[in-house]
Amino acid sequence: MKMFKKLTSLALLATAFFSSAVFACDEQCMREKAEAKHNVKFPGYLTFKYCDSIAMDFMTSTMRSLQNYRDNHLESKYKGPLKNTKAYLEQREDWLKECDDYLVKTKNIRIFNDDKTTKQIFATIDAVEEEFEALINGVTYSADNQFVVINDRFDNLFKQVEDHKHLMHLKGRYVVR
């Protein structure tokens, strides 16, 4: 009788284990469900790993590049670098938004982990881009330094991303490259 109970318990445990593996939904399964539910077709390159890489690159190399531009080249009298940097930032934002949409529809998470942080970072990126556009169009300020507004917007972006990186470190997700 004891042997029968042990075999029954073992059989139930094995059935539970194998059935959970059969019914588990991997990334491909989540993608297919999201495509059917939202009537979209995601590009083949969109994966969780790709989107994580895009977010990490933004928080590391993109921020370093923007910091370098602001510190060393922003006050140039030429508008070409302003246009190039604005286009660079817009491209990164497009990639982030594409990944955010993919993650929301497949895993129900945001690119920067929560709605509030993701919306804040996107809004701050938009504010920097708007200021770039104003400078390209020839806006002038009464202050001695016409770049004071964009510097403030850059500072806000850098602070928000740094705060998010710090939070990720506290959660055990390291943001380094």
Written as one string, the DSSP assignment of 150-175 is HHHHHHHHHHHHHHHHHHHHHTT---
For the record, the structure tokens of 74 come out as 């922003």
pLDDT band at 147 (very low <50, low <70, confident <90, very high): confident
15 vs 76: CA distance, rounded Å: 68
| Residues 52 and 116 placed together within one structural domain of the fold | yes
Domain count, the chain: 2
Q: Is residue 177 in a domain?
A: no
| Residues 46 and 27 placed together within one structural domain of the fold | no
In Å, how far from its chain's centre is CA 172?
17
pLDDT band at 19 (very low <50, low <70, confident <90, very high): very low
Pick from 168, 171, 170, 172: nearest CA to 55: 168
Q: Is residue 109 in a domain?
A: yes
Residue with tokens 């969780």: 48
Write out the H or E segment, with its range, that includes residue 101: helix 80-106
For the record, the structure tokens of 124 come out as 């701050």
Q: Is residue 176 in a domain?
A: no
**Residue span of the structural domain in which 49 resides:** 42-170
| Residues 64 and 15 placed together within one structural domain of the fold | no
Q: Is residue 30 in a domain?
A: yes
Task: Kindly report whether the global pTM for this prediction surpasses the value 0.75.
Answer: yes
| Residues 13 and 66 placed together within one structural domain of the fold | no
For the record, the structure tokens of 64 come out as 């370093």
Q: Is residue 126 in a domain?
A: yes
Residue with tokens 């200021």: 131
Write out the H or E segment, with its range, that includes residue 55: helix 48-57
| Residues 61 and 115 placed together within one structural domain of the fold | yes
By mean pLDDT, which of 22-26, 31-35, 96-100, 120-124 is the weakest?
22-26
